[in-house]
Amino acid sequence: MLVVRKFLIHLYMNKSQISDKVLSCHTQMQNVDLLSMKNSFNYHLQVSLRIRGSHFCAAAILTDHWLLTAAHCFASVSKDFLHKIEAVAGNFNQRKVDRGEQNFQVKTVKFQEKYQHSSPMSYDIALLEIKGRIHFGDFIKPVCLPYPGERFPPKTMCVVGGWGRITEKGPLSSVLQEVQLNLLEQSKCRHVLQTLRSGQKTFTVLCAGPDSGGRDACQGDSGGPLLCPRADGRWVAVGVTSWGKGCGRSWNNNKIKPSSRRGSPGVFTDVLMFLSWIKSNLRKDRSLCGVPDGVVPGSEGSIGNFHSSLSLHFCHRMCLWSIRVAAGEHILLEFLEFDLENDTQCHSDHLTVYVDEDRQIGRFCGGQPPPPVLIGGSHSITVQFVSDVSSTGAGFAIQFSAVDKDYSFGAECGTVVLLQPKGAVWSPGYPQAYSNNTLCRWVIYAPEGHIVKVKTTLKLLCWPSHCLVSPLSSRDLSVQS
């Protein structure tokens, strides 16, 4: 029995019942056996989808009006069909109305464009827009999405939850269940899936679960998130529960088994593969990024996300702005407003500036506006903003402009990024004396396989009693008085 989990094949044996204690995405957990754990984040991140009052699929909360689910959960997206669907957030026990529970009608469903009902094993992902707004709090929270390029290695211990069948042919669970599953190597995932569908050429999934079976999701768990931990203990939605062969069956030696007795690990749509698709569909939502992200037109303007409730209730909001100027011009960034979570390592809410999309030139956080940044030698930069739900700030506003290559900060100072093969730097107001409490930063990049060679006449290192003249040899020069 090859099943796509509208009554999806997942959450089989050893699922543990969970209670209603809050565990948000920024919470760190160490040395916890999730099979016996009685406090889970699934309850707060997950939505029960019901038709005429009966649960049929799950979804994960992205924002206060967007949900992430599996495309195969919806055989139709007609208004008549959607009118029968109810999305219930904050629910734990299907047999009663739980404290903090909120009910919504479904407005629209967006399938990934390559998804086909006739072949639901690939591109099985959808965005669901609800009518009204979710009110976040102790009982309902949004799920975290992975960063672009983030990887979770094989054997990573992940968790999936839902109200699906407890056994392959058993009844649906009335209370939310969860089970621990380890990620599989992609090569092993593909190999075992080929024993089920030898002609499968498109793989948009990842697999999780033991080859001996016994732990899995099951029918009714479709659309729920597969949550995996980062190295720092934060949990993110890496997959969307999609399909499988049976529930909790062993898939050892599949090839020598009759087709009816073969099994599979849990199969989940790979969220990392669809991050850009998710972003492109939500990009026009100003509640996500203030100024819509993407390519910013023009040679001057402003970007930002400044609002009194900017980061509230959006787990790992990520906005990307791409700024381009004409060849030969430099890019000037001036921070007009800046109030992000104060973290000395900038691991929580932070703003990062990249040159050519991959070379980081600065990461900023805290409550003080950074000095202006002047970027020379490149006509393209990317500004990335990431936030979590651990704490909030008012946000930021940045003014950008294209400036002449001879532009200088004058008597002031800031960060100067140099990408040219050769050039010169000097202190503010040179050859005049610089002012007290001056902090200047030069970021100098050498091409791959090269080093930076710095020549200078003098560097004065001064103490109260004397000054020392010494040579300079640094790739990132700092002068502070």
Query: Residues 124, 217: one domain?
Result: yes
**Helix, strand, or coil here: 374?**
strand
User: Which residue's entry shows tokens 């649960």?
Assistant: 55
Q: Is residue 289 part of a domain?
A: yes
Query: Residues 300, 337: one domain?
Result: yes
Q: Give me the sheet containing 476-480, strands edge to edge.
A: 300-304, 395-403, 330-339, 373-376, 415-418, 439-444, 476-480
Q: Which residues of 343-356 are buried (b: 16+ CB within 10 A; e: fewer)?
A: eeebebbbbbbbbe
In the chain, which stretches have pLDDT less than 70?
1-43, 232, 283-290, 292, 306-318, 357, 388-392, 457-481
Query: Residues 255, 384: one domain?
Result: no
pLDDT digits (tens, 9 = 90+) for 67-107: 999 999 998 888 889 999 999 999 999 989 988 899 999 99
Q: Taking a C-beta distance cutoff of 8 angstroms, is the pair 44, 66 a contact? A: no
Of the candidates 21, 321, 285, the one whose C-alpha atom is nearest the C-alpha of residue 133 is 285
Q: Taking a C-beta distance cutoff of 8 angstroms, is the pair 359, 446 a contact? A: no
pLDDT digits (tens, 9 = 90+) for 276-314: 888 778 766 655 666 767 788 888 999 887 653 333 334
Per-chain mean pLDDT for the chain: 79
H or E element: which one contains 187? helix 186-194
Q: What is the DSSP string of 281-324?
A: HHTT-HHHHSS--EEEPSSEEEEE---TTTTTT-TTEEEEEEEE
Query: Residues 137, 16: one domain?
Result: yes
Q: Is residue 127 part of a domain?
A: yes
Q: Is residue 100 part of a domain?
A: yes
Domains held by the chain: number = 2
Query: Residues 254, 289: one domain?
Result: no
Query: Residues 105, 46: one domain?
Result: yes
Q: Is residue 345 part of a domain?
A: yes
Q: Taking a C-beta distance cutoff of 8 angstroms, is the pair 236, 144 a contact? A: yes
Domain boundary residue, one of 344, 372, 407: 407
Residue 224: CATH number of its domain: 2.40.10.10
Torsion of CA 456, 457, 460, 465, to 10 degrees: 150
As a whole number of angstroms, the distance between CA 4 and CA 164 comes to: 12
Q: Which residues pair with 19 in a beta bridge?
A: 39
Q: Which amino acid is at 38?
A: K
Count of beta carbons in the 10 Å neighbourhood of residue 468 = 9
Question: E-strand spans in 419-459?
Answer: 439-444
Count of beta carbons in the 10 Å neighbourhood of residue 9 = 33
Q: Which amino acid is at 208?
A: A
As a whole number of angstroms, the distance between CA 153 and CA 185 comes to: 8
Q: Which residues pair with 227 in a beta bridge?
A: 159, 237
Q: Is residue 481 part of a domain?
A: no
Query: Residues 356, 403: one domain?
Result: yes
Domain boundary residue, one of 276, 297, 321: 276
* φ, ψ for residue 98, nearest 5 deg: -85, 155
Torsion of CA 182, 186, 187, 193, to 10 degrees: 80
The vertex-434 CA angle with 433 and 437, nearest 5°, equals 140
Enter the tokens of residue 341: 């979570």
In the residue annotation, 387 being an active-site residue is answered as no
In the residue annotation, 124 being an active-site residue is answered as yes
Query: Residues 60, 194: one domain?
Result: yes
Write down the pLDDT at residue 166. 86
Query: Residues 351, 234: one domain?
Result: no
Write down the pLDDT at residue 281. 82
- Is the link from the previous residue into 258 a cis peptide, with omega within 30 of 0? no
Q: Taking a C-beta distance cutoff of 8 angstroms, is the pair 184, 152 a contact? A: no
Domain boundary residue, one of 276, 293, 319: 276
Catalytic residue among 222, 378, 387, 401, which?
222
Query: Residues 269, 373: one domain?
Result: no
Count of beta carbons in the 10 Å neighbourhood of residue 58 = 33
Q: Is residue 455 part of a domain?
A: no
Q: Is residue 310 part of a domain?
A: yes
**Helix, strand, or coil here: 275?**
helix
Catalytic residue among 20, 64, 124, 293, which?
124
Query: Residues 257, 187: one domain?
Result: yes
As a whole number of angstroms, the distance between CA 160 and CA 242 comes to: 12
In the residue annotation, 404 being an active-site residue is answered as no
Q: Taking a C-beta distance cutoff of 8 angstroms, is the pair 343, 349 a contact? A: yes
Its domain, for residue 375, covers 285-407
Query: Residues 261, 294: one domain?
Result: no
Stated pTM of the model: 0.67
Q: Is residue 424 part of a domain?
A: no
**Helix, strand, or coil here: 257?**
coil
As a whole number of angstroms, the distance between CA 413 and CA 428 comes to: 6
As a whole number of angstroms, the distance between CA 226 and CA 68 comes to: 12
As a whole number of angstroms, the distance between CA 470 and CA 460 comes to: 7
Residue 344: CATH number of its domain: 2.60.120.290
Count of beta carbons in the 10 Å neighbourhood of residue 433 = 11
As a whole number of angstroms, the distance between CA 303 and CA 96 comes to: 46
